[in-house]
């Protein structure tokens, strides 16, 4: 029970590595092992959502193509960026089923406010 409480503390403080270590160390024989196993999966989903958001932000902050892309067909980069953005959005939606936004607080995150 102490490992689970310590892991929850680390997760809520945004210290995901510490939380992961505690949940991984949770013995299978303990009553709270099911919680540790499920929270490890949720932690990975949170990380996945974090990486998906970072990828989308990088795509939207991209500047005009540099000389490295001179050999690409016109507008090919935009089509590739759009496809990547769609895929990342799909991943984010799928991962939201694992950890809904209302449970972000468990991992030290605040859900983004809904803009009208």
Residue 72: the pLDDT is 63
Contacts of 51 by beta carbon, 8 Å cutoff, 6+ apart: none
pLDDT tens per residue across all 116 residues of the chain: 888 899 999 999 989 999 999 999 988 888 888 889 999 999 999 999 999 999 999 988 876 555 555 556 667 777 888 899 999 999 999 999 998 888 888 888 876 654 33
Residue 110: the pLDDT is 76
Residue 51: the pLDDT is 93
Residue 1: the pLDDT is 83
Kindly list the domain boundaries of the chain, sorted by start residue.
2-107
Note the pTM of the prediction, 2 decimals. 0.74
Residue 22: the pLDDT is 92
Q: What is the largest CA-CA distance in the chain?
A: 60
* Residue 39, Cβ density class (10 Å: 0-12 exposed, 13-18 middle, ≥19 buried): buried
């Amino acid at each position: 029970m102490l490992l689970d409480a310590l892991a929850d503390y680390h997760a809520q403080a945004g210290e995901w590595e510490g939380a992961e270590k505690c949940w991984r160390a949770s013995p299978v024989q303990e009553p709270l092992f099911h919680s540790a196993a499920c929270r490890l999966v949720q932690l990975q989903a949170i990380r996945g959502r974090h990486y998906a958001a970072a990828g989308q932000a990088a795509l939207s902050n991209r500047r005009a193509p540099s000389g490295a892309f001179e050999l690409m067909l016109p507008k090919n980069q935009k089509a590739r960026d759009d496809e990547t953005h769609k895929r990342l959005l799909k991943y984010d939606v799928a991962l939201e089923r694992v950890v809904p936004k209302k449970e972000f607080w468990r991992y030290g995150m605040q859900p983004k406010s809904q803009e009208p």
